[in-house]
Amino acid sequence: MPDPTSLKDDLLQGVSVDVRVCVGSASPTIKDLMQLEPDSILPLSTHVDDPVELYVGDKLIAKGFLETSPDGDDGSLSVRLTAVGDPTTGLK
């Protein structure tokens, strides 16, 4: 009979999760937000070469740098990881 713990682990391995990549933040006033329209520019607190943070839910799981995807000429982005935390506790 299979070990129930390993069976549960096997089932969870195929579950997809959403990873959010945070590239920066902004603190506009409500007035500034109300004036946003297409082609407006919202300055962020970071530069293009600054590290980004990866989150699952509200847990920081990794850090890295944005780069152009190596397998495409369409300008899509990837993240090169520089630090990875424990999946259960996050990155410290």
Return mean pLDDT, the chain.
87
pLDDT band, residue 87 (cuts 50/70/90)? low
Write down the pLDDT at residue 86.
Answer: 76
Reduced to 3 states, what is the DSSP secondary structure of residue 5? helix
Write down the pLDDT at residue 68.
Answer: 87
> What pTM did the predictor assign?
0.73
CA-CA distance, 46 to 40, in Å (whole number)?
18
Homologous superfamily (CATH) of 16-84 is SpoA-like (2.30.330.10)
How many CB atoms lie under 10 A from the CB of residue 91? 15
